A = this chain, B = another copy of it.
Amino acid sequence: MAFKLPEYHPPDFSVPPFTESPLARFEVVGQEGVAPEGYHATSIYPEYLHVRKGDWRLIEKSRMDCVVVLENDGVLSVRPFRHLRVGDRVACGRLENGEEGIYVHTKGFDDPDRSEDKFQFRTRLTRETSFSIDYDELYDLLEHEKGKGFVLWVLGPAVVFDRDARGAFVRLVEEGYVHGLLAGNALAVHDTEAAMYGTALGQEIYSKKKQPLGHYRHLDIINRICSQGSIGKAVVSGLVRDGIMRALTVKTIPYVLAGSIRDDGPLPDVITDAALAQDRMRKLATKATTVIALATQLHAIATGNMVPCYKVGGETQVRPVYFYTVDMSEFAVDKLANRGSLTARSILTNVQDFVVTLERGLGRRCGP
């Protein structure tokens, strides 16, 4: 089945009530990092601002919970509050229906309506939901995105705790299905620990044997990479001989390692400042056409905050951004939805199996 991007249907601004709408209102920032009263906050959906009579401009590179700034060059940019400077002009207005010159467009890619019975079973997604079609759709999507999109992966450390999952992810990198990666210190630490010692947190990632003094392994690899100066240098020097970090380095695929208070070390490549890390993550996030988040609530929610459900430009004028999250618990899935990532698709399983199954399925389909 050839994958086809769904068409985007923009609102028709030539009809009422839009023809009656006022222009969007902008207020000036009076205190650094503080938005004016009544600021408009962005969502994951396409939003249009009425900037000149009859000219509704779609904001680009949006994300949740930011404000819209009218730059001096007339561009509308989406900024976190902390990047507001005195004098910035911030869009104001909270009605989303155009009455204040702002329109939030939630139905741009809508599926055809489904009629529903009064009484129904299986209205909720759980581990017992069928996921066969999700794999098949992912195969098609990833083949498409390989050439024409930007697949951003968000990884928890569990992916490198298992030999087969780690190996499968390395092959996904090598075969071109990974265009960017967001993760934390632990992913890089245990991936390079596996490269050097075959362990993660001291336990062998295949045999599960706990090595003697295994609780030193992750500290040893951190210490060595710190000594060399960066993961990249440790790859070049031959210290890190395999694994995900090496594959990314070899293929010069961009990644952001964001620090957290849980980190040992951290590795020299880790950005310990959360605000700076967010900025770097968002730089990758704005390129993403598909995001796949595996077994990490922290990074999945952080990335979910940064990724709108659409992307402007490229192959089509406006296309959807696909957001998948894979986790073991209904709670993780629900929590993401409760924080506003309403269009995320979820697969409930162990990421070890997910990555292995995905890679095998892609491999099969690529075959002659």
Contact = CB atoms under 8 A, between A and B. Distances in A.
Interface of A: 31, 33-35, 39, 41, 43-45, 65, 81-82, 94, 96, 104, 106, 114-133, 135, 157-158, 161-165, 200-210, 212-216, 219, 222-223, 226-227, 258-266, 272-278, 281, 297-299, 301-302, 305, 328-331, 334-335, 337-340, 342, 348-350, 352-354, 356-357, 360
Contacts of A356: 357
Contacts of A302: 260-262
Contact of A43 (B44, B114, B119, B162): B119
B262 A301 contact: yes
A228 B165 CA distance: 47
7 contacts: A31-B227, A117-B213, A125-B334, A130-B163, A262-B305, A328-B348, A349-B349
A3 to B, nearest CB: 16
Given A120-B215, A121-B340, A122-B338, A128 B158 contact: yes
Given A114-B210, A274-B274, A353-B349, A299 B261 contact: yes
A167 to B, nearest CB: 9
B338 A121 contact: yes
Number of copies: 4
Contacts of A130: 161-163, 200, 203-206, 208, 352
Given A210-B120, A215-B117, A258-B261, A126 B331 contact: yes
B127 A298 contact: no
A104 B133 contact: no
Given A65-B219, A123-B338, A127-B331, 16 more contacts: A65-B264, A81-B264, A104-B119, A114-B209, A122-B201, A127-B350, A128-B158, A128-B338, A130-B163, A130-B204, A132-B205, A260-B298, A261-B281, A261-B299, A329-B329, A349-B352
B124 A334 contact: yes
Contacts of A39: 223
Contacts of A342: 119-120, 123
A205 B120 CA distance: 16
B35 A223 contact: yes
Closest 3 CB pairs of A and B: A349-B350, A353-B353, A330-B330
A205 to B, nearest CB: 5
Max chain B Cβ within 10 angstroms of own Cβ: one of A130, A277, A348, A354: A130
A352 to B, nearest CB: 6
Contacts of A158: 127-128
A326 to B, nearest CB: 10
A119 B96 contact: yes
Contacts of A122: 201-203, 210, 214, 338
Nearest to A335: B126
A122 B127 CA distance: 21
A82 B265 contact: yes
Contacts of A203: 121-122, 130
